Amino acid sequence: MFKKKHFTFEDIPDLSGKVAIVTGANTGIGYITAKELARKNAHVFVASRTKERGESAVENIIKETGNNQVEYLHLDLVSLKNVKQAAENFLAKKLPLHILINNAGIMATPWSLTEDGIQDQFGVNHVGHFLFTKILLPRIEASTPSRIVNVSGGAYKWGPAAGIEFDKINQKDAQSTLQRYAVSKLANILFSHSLAKRFEDKEIYVNSLHPGVVRTELSRGVEETYGIIAKIVNKFTYLFKISAEDGALTQLYAATSPEIIEKNYRKKYFIPYGEIAETTALAQDDELAEKLWKYTEDLIDDKLRT
């Protein structure tokens, strides 16, 4: 399994003066991540789709940490127009941005399209975060040293042999729902790879990670797709999964540990709890990463024009 954890919440340094955005921070490891950043005095934005749940998360974090600098940012990753608006709403606050954790995601959902007609797992897990990050990049660059953390997962290995078959992304029956999930998780790593290369001469540290197999709401999509069998499997495997608290540790390591800067960690893929793991050749493929970058840019340009 994983090596004994060595990074803990206590290892998070004081974050006074730091501003962080955590997507999908209303629940699960995103919520724990936002809470622990706030506990160490960061100014934290809980970015999530549902206002009621997002504002409830903010209220609870303030209550638990005593840090009043926690705000809700409406971010709906199924809508590129909303993603653009969310990023612009943050920029309008004229704050720096030292930490961006792209944590939100969906897993193995039944076939569905986003508001923009993009296959939902690819659209939410990759395309929405790509646009959100890209709009925020000038602010992140102006706030160095800064960090971008993209939450991937070990499932990135489950995809097709080619890694990403671009012509099949929006074909309903071309891939299973788990393959579609795998493609989106590989895209998270490749995006990190391309982004890190573009800023290798800047103090912007871009990394990705696998948080572990965590007891969170992420498996709801699997149950919706596969029904009673998935529910039985989830109940059986529940005890073998790690808690949301443990699941948040690896992204907190990537987002806050002084080691990231001290050891110049870029383009790394971390596993619990802050260990570096070697990725597959596909996840390190420069050509595939650049093809994905251009494909995503063109897709976003096309969708925002219509």
Instruction: Give me the active site residues, please.
Output: 181, 185
Distance of CA 137 to the CA centre of its chain: 16
Q: CA 41, CA 263: separation in Å to the nearest integer?
A: 24
Indicate the length of the chain as a whole number: 306
Tally Cβ neighbours within 10 Å of residue 78.
19
- Strands 204-209 and 70-74, how do they pair? unpaired
Element (H, E) at 270: strand 269-271
Residue 173 burial (10 A CB sphere; 0-12, 13-18, 19+): exposed
The sign of the dihedral angle between the CA atoms of 154, 159, 161, 167 is negative
Q: CA 21, CA 99: separation in Å to the nearest integer?
A: 6
